Chains A and B, each alone.
Chain A
């Protein structure tokens, strides 16, 4: 080994010589400043899209699912694709909050609040599709096992029913988790805002938080328990979603690797979505000191790993489709690669497996532009993955006589576009009125949170140079 390698020390998580109070004002001021013009424009556009979504749903309820592109044998089309896509995006938030919390990944604090909010709004968008897909939405409560005089029960053997439970549990726990984390920050805002109305509202949600020792102990305990509960949920939700497909005997759907493969894909797309939104938000709100380039690099590594895991699953599926020697399975996969939907298949492969490979390069990993572009590419790819899985297996089924080419209608497309309206309406409200970074948690990973940071008299060490490095508490 002739080449000499340099040791790369890890960078502090919060850059730019911040103090506790400068962090509070950096994040708190976003809420207290007057609403910027761009926000009104973006909110207006989102509201228009949301109105369009509501219009499409009303039209659907009036006319029935015939206005979608569904036709025998393709009974599952864009609705299911969009459902799985949104639920997948909704995975990053709770993964970052729960799993990375249990793994003591300090860098999660910069993005967890943000990602949790995204999770909740994405799950809302996802939940719409199965609900409206039932066709007769006025009896949608039949999905729940409610005792009734007709003795009608949902089919407990069906993963579609498990989905109802899995997604609603996931939504509830994610919401609780998000809210528990918000309590100390709501209290911070309550103490800062000037308007009386704001004080009442934030005070109401702060639950009388004073930051006392006992309160922090309870807080830490409940946060840990919620993290422990949320961790299996992150895996179970997308596992059940994968069961929707994998328990059936449709070629291309029935394969045992589906559960972990779907979970990896969900994390993959979720991180990509967090990346897209984060890059915009840190720019607009000047949060580069908190959401640093190192955070972007770490997230890109996760995107690379999960993208490659998805690629691993593609390879396994393809190999076993041949190895298994089942005629139909083999056909399903060859049909994906060279059949009528080959364009979608290769687009999926390109976006999900090849594009993240750019992140092997440190320069690309640390490039904001490249990260932004690739994160969007990834989410396009993940949408097409669900398209390929759902449509190719159904459009060319066991009977060649019924083969056809599935195309969506304008209603399909506009409904999907409309969900972005719902998502961004919520997200913009979140950015405007809530602390978008976990103020209390970010302080815990700063050097000042370490008792060893202070000198003998308990004072801050004197930094002469503005860019001087804070003492490394681990040395």
Chain B
């Protein structure tokens, strides 16, 4: 029977141009944000948290995807897997990028303020959980877990590139299974810490799942865009084919619906029960022109990609997939903004230039690191036991 062989060049062409551009943009953004720090410290911290939570969501969802791919022994996405692997490897960089947030806690989180603690009953009640030392300890735990998982899964995968030892696949599964359990708990509590505790009166058991569902939808948009980018550069044209991108498209479609399901359920249960301690969070977000974002989440984040990608042909149409992915990646940032910013600007939606500069700064650096790492090794796990099966998909 016919055997398939990879015919593409599997190494990213060594060029420092893209790195120079990305790191340059990143440095520029960081520099601008640094100035912004002195201009408006409070705004800086809120913008930084928004950009951080946005960018972290891609790496976290990447980690989840890699682990899920291993424990389900999937074959379809093997040719794509090095991209999320590289993203999850970067989680230790995100740990470093989190440090400014620790220094900005007094600006971001009202529960740190002694005056509020003295008068607010709920702040006192929650103090055993919401206090600065424990918050910092928790962040150390989260980032150690994530960095460890991301690092190990990436290193084992590139090791298999070299020694073709299929036994590593067993090891990857042994790491991934408990990894997913740790991931779900840490991400849920991290989302409580970073985002839910901004408004510390508010609570929702679904919030962790909500942050995850947003992230996972946006993750597929990102992987489609990166796949299309590689193809536009003439790379991996016969390795990452229409089938693989189409499969990612199907999952993006599926998780668009999943996101809508989770986000709507959370809103709906609070809306229906109509108890003041819960409704306030949504009330702020339906007030003034924040409501524009709220409604556009329904239309742009759910309805648009849903309708665009509903037909079978659309899910492997590069133009439609590209458009939907760009929409999702952009609205994902707006949603993160919509989660964070009403704490600061509860009267209405407004973009501050710091929102852009922190995003460009952190995003440029992270993408720069991504391509730096991506150039070092083969762009696909070429010795993976299921690599040829993945290549054979049609």
Contacts from A to B (Cβ < 8 Å): 1, 4-10, 102, 104, 232, 235, 239, 243, 246-249, 254-260, 301, 308, 312-313, 315-317, 320, 323-326, 360, 452, 471, 473-475
With a 10 A CB-CB cut-off, give which of B129, B170, B265, B266 has the most chain A CB atoms.
Answer: B265
B272 proximity list for chain A (CB < 8 A)? 247
Apart from A257-B206, A320-B203, what are 14 other A-B pairs with CB-CB below 8 Å?
A6-B170, A8-B170, A10-B73, A102-B254, A243-B269, A247-B269, A254-B273, A257-B209, A259-B269, A260-B209, A260-B265, A313-B205, A323-B192, A326-B277
- How far does the alpha carbon of A255 sit from the alpha carbon of B203 in the complex, in Å? 10
**Chain A proximity of B184: nearest CB distance (Å):** 6
23 residue pairs bridging A and B, Cβ less than 8 Å apart: A5-B168, A5-B170, A6-B170, A9-B385, A246-B269, A247-B273, A249-B273, A255-B269, A256-B266, A256-B270, A257-B206, A257-B209, A259-B206, A259-B261, A259-B262, A260-B261, A312-B185, A320-B203, A320-B205, A323-B129, A326-B277, A452-B1, A471-B1
- How far does the alpha carbon of A38 sit from the alpha carbon of B382 in the complex, in Å? 55
**Main secondary structure on chain B at its contact with chain A?**
helix
CB closest chain-A residue, reference B312: A224
Q: Is B162 part of the binding interface, using a Cβ–Cβ cutoff of 8 Å?
A: no
Contact, CB under 8 Å: B167 / A259: no
**Chain B proximity of A365: nearest CB distance (Å):** 12
Contact, CB under 8 Å: A324 / B203: yes
Contact, CB under 8 Å: B205 / A316: yes
B184 proximity list for chain A (CB < 8 A)? 312
CB-based closest 9 A-B pairs: A7-B166, A257-B205, A256-B206, A5-B167, A452-B1, A5-B170, A324-B203, A259-B265, A247-B272
Contact, CB under 8 Å: A256 / B204: yes
- How far does the alpha carbon of A360 sit from the alpha carbon of B392 in the complex, in Å? 32
Which of A104, A325, A474 meets B389, CB within 8 Å?
A474
- How many residue pairs, one in A and one in B, have C-beta atoms under 8 Å apart? 97
Which B88-126 residues have C-beta < 8 A from chain A?
121-122, 125-126
Contacts from B to A (Cβ < 8 Å): 1-3, 71, 73, 75-76, 121-122, 125-126, 129, 166-171, 174, 177, 181, 184-185, 188, 192, 203-209, 250, 254, 257, 261-262, 265-266, 269-270, 272-273, 275, 277, 385, 388-389, 392
Which of A7, A315, A324 meets B385, CB within 8 Å?
A7
CB closest chain-B residue, reference A258: B269
- How far does the alpha carbon of A260 sit from the alpha carbon of B166 in the complex, in Å? 36
Contact, CB under 8 Å: B265 / A239: yes
- How far does the alpha carbon of A9 sit from the alpha carbon of B126 in the complex, in Å? 50
A315 proximity list for chain B (CB < 8 A)? 185
B192 proximity list for chain A (CB < 8 A)? 323
B177 proximity list for chain A (CB < 8 A)? 360
A104 proximity list for chain B (CB < 8 A)? 76
Contact, CB under 8 Å: B277 / A5: no
- How far does the alpha carbon of A104 sit from the alpha carbon of B266 in the complex, in Å? 30
B277 proximity list for chain A (CB < 8 A)? 324, 326
A258 proximity list for chain B (CB < 8 A)? 265, 269
CB closest chain-B residue, reference A452: B1
Contact, CB under 8 Å: B167 / A4: yes
Contact, CB under 8 Å: B203 / A248: no
CB closest chain-B residue, reference A330: B125
